[in-house]
């Protein structure tokens, strides 16, 4: 029976609530970084390594002895070549691009403000690698190991490509991982992968150890800046 007020006398159906999509979490290890001291330390270390590469001092001679030791190691040549190839632009950059697309899709589904900004920042960080590495190679002009023609081997472009591409991919993924163990293991896997690429480059005689070490410092500087930006972006996306 319909009442005089027009109501049917039945309770209205409950409002349908859309399931809340997961949002990224801030990463404690990123928020605890001290950016200025870390930046100054890495910049000073890179300057020291570059100076030692440019002068014929004891560090450079020790570097060349270490390279001969690594080249004579028992790591199979095929395995070393495979590891070195993981630092190719055609391998590392597509991995970062795929992760950036995935994170952008997740962020857009979660209706985050400026969902496109973290993936774009990671890709711009990757684009900064050749802008820094190529002029440094030309300025230092270090000759390669025996059997490698020409100069321009410091810092290692393959090492920087691997470190920044894989490192930026991990930094993009970390805020979306709820499992602390998975976060830690993914970070460790990235470090092991970059170290493996570096070992392969030295074992195959493509680079001196200091070429690789210089790229570590340069890559860490870029990733530190990206990490701070992504941390701020992740914190801003948290619900109030």
- The token pair at 114 is 């400026």
- Each residue's pLDDT expressed in tens, for the chain with a length of 240 residues: 445 544 455 555 554 444 444 555 555 445 455 678 889 999 999 999 999 999 988 999 999 999 999 998 999 999 999 999 999 999 999 999 999 999 999 999 999 999 999 999 999 999 999 999 999 999 999 999 999 999 999 999 999 999 999 999 999 999 899 899 999 999 999 999 999 999 999 999 999 999 999 999 999 999 999 999 988 776 655 555
Count of residues for the chain? Answer: 240
- Determine what percent of the chain falls in helix, strand and coil, rounding each to the nearest 5: 70, 0, 30
The residue extents of the domains of the chain are 28-234
**To the nearest 10°, the Cα dihedral for 137, 143, 148, 153?**
-20
- The token pair at 95 is 């991995």
3-state secondary structure of 143: strand
Q: Pick left, alpha or beta for residue 152 (phi over 0 → left; psi -120 to 50 → alpha; otherwise beta).
A: left
- pTM for the whole thing? 0.86
């Amino acid at each position: 029976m319909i009442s005089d007020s027009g109501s049917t006398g039945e309770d209205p159906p409950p409002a349908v609530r859309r399931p809340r999509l997961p949002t990224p979490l801030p990463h404690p290890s990123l928020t605890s970084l001290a950016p200025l001291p870390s930046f100054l330390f890495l910049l000073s270390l890179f300057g020291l390594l570059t100076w030692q590469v440019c002068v014929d001092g004891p560090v450079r001679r020790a570097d060349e002895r270490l390279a001969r030791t690594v080249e004579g190691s028992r790591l199979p040549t095929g395995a070393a070549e495979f590891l070195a190839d993981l630092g190719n632009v055609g391998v590392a950059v597509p991995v970062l691009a795929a992760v950036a697309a995935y994170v952008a899709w997740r962020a857009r589904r979660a209706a985050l403000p400026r969902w496109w900004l973290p993936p774009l920042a990671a890709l711009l960080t990757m684009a900064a690698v050749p802008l820094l590495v190529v002029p440094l190679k030309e300025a230092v002009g270090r000759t390669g190991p025996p059997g490698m023609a020409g100069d321009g081997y410091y810092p290692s472009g393959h090492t920087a490509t691997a470190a920044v591409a894989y490192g930026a991919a991990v930094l993009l993924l970390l805020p979306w991982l709820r499992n602390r163990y998975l976060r830690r293991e993914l970070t460790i896997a990235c470090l092991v992968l970059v170290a493996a690429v570096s070992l392969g480059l030295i074992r195959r005689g493509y680079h001196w150890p200091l070429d690789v070490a210089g790229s570590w410092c340069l890559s860490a500087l870029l990733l530190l800046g990206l990490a701070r930006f992504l941390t701020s972006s992740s914190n801003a996306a948290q619900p109030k």
